[in-house]
């Protein structure tokens, strides 16, 4: 098996070359394209019903994984994550595993196993990821995806490193961590930096350059507001007041320049 990450950055794509008999498993919906030599099969994640149920309902990962296997001839396929961002390849030798945030798993070789890890009641109440995280163990190659760019932090023994909840992608299972406030209560409230994770080395921590939750909150004011008739009543900032998404009408264009001209005329 040979892999190559294409277009590394905002819109990364994973190319996987498989010899006859080789296979790779991926998150459902990750397949972009493949040659006819590749056979696709959907299987329960983790190989068993109980582990699949745990991964789905406790860890937030899909109940199924999609397996791609080359038949009599070699073939290749392309895989892509759901969110725009980079892809990272991690090699597991069996000596340690990794803990992933929900949605960070893209693909892995067959001997890499996904399970769930209970992080305790106290951490679960404070952590946005909930009481359970995804635990990855075994041997082989693991491919992670993130929102934005990806950075690996190597921690020396005793070294501490603080990460905002929404920017965490993964960390090695031998890394200690605790959940705490970014500062005092007033600082946390007014700075926008609330609960953070404090890691202690040795270990590896992977962070992403963008926070999906913060991006969603930034995007919310620009989303058209549905009306009872099925059209759009405009966005929360008024930028889409003439948009008729979902109404079946063709008048979906909006002249931003005219909008600003009208606003100045009103004055």
CATH code for the domain of 159 = 3.60.160.10
CB atoms inside a 10 Å sphere around CB 232: 20
One domain for residues 130 and 208: yes
Burial of 10 (0-12, 13-18, 19+ CB in 10 A): middle
One domain for residues 24 and 118: yes
How does pLDDT run along the chain (267 residues), one tens digit per residue?
999 999 998 899 999 999 999 999 999 999 999 999 999 999 876 545 445 445 444 444 555 789 999 999 999 999 999 999 999 999 999 999 999 988 899 999 999 998 876 555 444 434 455 556 889 999 999 999 999 999 999 999 999 999 998 899 999 999 999 988 765 544 444 444 567 899 999 999 999 999 998 889 898 998 887 776 666 556 555 544 444 444 444 444 444 444 444 444 444
One domain for residues 211 and 227: no
Q: Which domain holds residue 255?
A: 223-266
- Peptide linkage before 202 cis (omega within 30 of 0): yes
Give the closest residue to 168 by CA, choosing from 139, 123, 198: 198
One domain for residues 199 and 120: yes
Report CA 102 to chain centroid distance, whole Å.
Answer: 7
Number of domains in the chain: 2
One domain for residues 120 and 231: no
103/115 Cα distance (integer angstroms): 14
- Contact in structure between 136 and 97 (CB atoms under 8 Å): yes
Burial of 122 (0-12, 13-18, 19+ CB in 10 A): exposed
One domain for residues 30 and 75: yes
Residue that finishes a domain, picked among 198, 215, 232: 215
- Contact in structure between 136 and 105 (CB atoms under 8 Å): yes
135/144 Cα distance (integer angstroms): 13
One domain for residues 196 and 95: yes
One domain for residues 136 and 101: yes
One domain for residues 124 and 232: no
């Amino acid at each position: 098996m040979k892999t190559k990450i294409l277009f590394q950055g905002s819109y990364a794509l994973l190319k996987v070359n498989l010899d006859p008999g080789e296979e790779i498993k991926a998150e459902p919906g990750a397949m972009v394209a493949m040659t006819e030599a590749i056979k696709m099969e959907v299987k329960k994640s983790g190989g068993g019903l109980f582990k699949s149920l745990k991964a789905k309902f406790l860890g937030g990962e899909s109940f199924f994984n999609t397996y791609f296997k080359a038949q009599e001839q070699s073939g290749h396929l392309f895989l892509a994550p759901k969110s725009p961002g980079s892809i990272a390849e991690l090699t597991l030798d069996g000596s340690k595993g990794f803990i992933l945030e929900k949605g960070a798993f893209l693909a892995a070789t067959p001997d890499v196993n996904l399970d769930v890890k209970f992080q305790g009641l106290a951490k679960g109440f404070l952590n946005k990821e909930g009481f359970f995280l995804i635990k990855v163990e075994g041997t082989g190659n693991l491919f992670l995806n993130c929102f934005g760019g990806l950075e690996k932090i190597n921690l020396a023994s005793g070294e501490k490193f603080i990460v905002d909840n929404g920017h965490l992608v993964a960390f090695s299972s031998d890394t200690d961590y605790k959940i705490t406030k970014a500062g005092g209560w007033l600082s946390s409230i007014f700075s926008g930096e609330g609960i953070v994770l404090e890691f202690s080395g040795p270990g590896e921590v992977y962070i992403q350059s963008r926070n999906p939750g913060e991006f969603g909150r930034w995007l919310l004011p620009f989303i058209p507001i549905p009306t009872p008739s099925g059209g759009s009543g405009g966005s929360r900032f008024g930028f889409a007041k003439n948009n008729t998404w979902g109404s079946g009408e063709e008048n979906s264009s909006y002249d931003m320049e005219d909008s600003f001209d009208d606003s100045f005329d009103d004055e």
